[in-house]
Amino acid sequence: MRRAEFSGRVSARVSNEDEAKRRNFQLIEAARAGNLKDLVEAVTQGAELQTKTLRGQNALMLAASARQKGSLQVIAFLLEATIDPDVADDAGWTALLFASRMNLAEAAEMLIRGKAEVGARSFDGKTAAMLAATEQLDHLPSRPEAGFRSGDELVISLIGYKVGVEKADKRGWTLMHYAVSNAREELVKWLMKMKANHEAKTKDRNTPLMLAAEIGHIKIAKVLLGRPCNVNQRNLAGNHALLLCILAGEEPFANYLCRSVVRLDATVKNKDGESALSAASSQRMGQLKNQLDILVRKMQDTPTDKKDIKKGVEDEDD
C-alpha cells in the first residue's frame, strides 16, 4: 500500500472518531441542559444513547437530575428511545435515585412510569426515599393544604410503592434517621403515624433522638418523645442525647431535656470520661450547669430502676 493511501485512511479514521466523540459530547451536554432539539439531532446523527461521563453518568441520569425547562421532554424522549432506566453510574446511582436526590417529583414519576426500579439502591445502600429525604427544604415550596412541603410529598409517594420505611443503608441509617438529621419535621410526624421505628439504631448506635439533639431540633424531639423512648440510650462513643446536644453547643435543647424529661440520667459519662456536667462547664453553659447540678443531686437521693428508662415528658411550649 502506498504511503499516501495509508495516510489518507488513517486520517479518515481519526476524523470519524472525532466526529463520533463530538456527537456523543453533544448528546451529554444537551441532556444536561434540557435541550431536546440538540439531543434529537445528536441521536439522529448516530450518538450512542448509553454514552457516559467520566463519573459513569448517562444522558438519562443527567436529565433526571437537572432543573432545566426542557428536562422532562428529554427524559420522555430517552425513555421512548428505550434507554435502560436502571443503568447505574460508578456509585450505583440510577436515574431515579438522581431525580429523588434533587426532589424532582415529576421526573421521578415519569421514570417510574417508564419501568424504573423503585427499590433500586446505591452501592452504599441508599434508597430513592432516603435520598429524597436527604435535603433540607428551605428552598422548596410549601403545600399548606396538604400539610407538607413538596419534598415530603415525593418521599411519601415513593413509600407508596412499598419500598419500606425500615430499610437501612450500609451505615444502618433508616428513613427516620435521614428525616430527623435533615430537620424534616412534617416527614418525621408522618413516619411516626406510619409506626416507623423511632428508636432505630445506626451501626454507631445513634438513635433519631440523638440526631435531633445534635442539631438542636426541639420540635422534632417532642414528636419522637410522643411515644415511649429511651432517652438514656448511649451510642458507641458512650454519648446519650443530653451529652450530644451539650457537646454540639445546643444549650436550648439541653434545657428542654432537663425541664421536660422524667428521670433523665445526667451522671452518664462517655468513653472520654466526659459527663453532661463537665461538658456544660467546658462549654461555659452556667445556667445549664446549675440545672444539671440539681438533677445529679436528685438522682443521688432517689434510687432508680436499672431497666431502660422510658420517657415521661411534659407538654410545653418552646
Domain count, the chain: 1
- In a domain? residue 104: no
- In a domain? residue 185: no
- In a domain? residue 224: yes
Give residues with Cβ within 8 angstroms of 284, minimum separation 6.
none
Give 231-240 pLDDT, tens digit per residue: 999 999 999 9
Give 112-137 pLDDT, tens digit per residue: 999 999 999 999 999 999 999 997 65
- In a domain? residue 172: no
Residue 217: C-alpha distances to residues 97, 120, 182, 220, 227 (Å): 28, 31, 10, 6, 17
- In a domain? residue 123: no
Mean pLDDT on 255-279: 93
Query: pLDDT at position 186, please?
Result: 95
Mean pLDDT on 287-297: 90
- In a domain? residue 303: yes
Higher pLDDT, 74 or 318: 74
CATH code: domain of residue 302: 1.25.40.20
Taking the model in full, what pTM does it have?
A: 0.85
- In a domain? residue 79: no
Query: pLDDT at position 164, please?
Result: 79
Give 155-186 pLDDT, tens digit per residue: 999 998 877 799 999 999 999 999 999 999 99
Q: What are residue 52's DSSP bridge partners?
A: 58
Query: pLDDT at position 150, please?
Result: 56
Task: Indicate if the pLDDT at residue 44 is higher than 70.
Answer: yes
| Cα separation, 267 vs 238, whole angstroms | 12
Query: pLDDT at position 12, please?
Result: 45
280: domain range?
Answer: 201-318
Mean pLDDT on 304-312: 46
- In a domain? residue 233: yes
Q: How confident is the model at residue 139 (pLDDT cuts 50, 70, 90)?
A: very low
Give residues with Cβ within 8 angstroms of 317, minimum separation 6.
none
Mean pLDDT of the chain: 88
Contact 96, 112 (CB under 8 A): yes
Q: With H, G, I as helix, E, B as strand and everything else as coil, classify residue 243.
A: helix
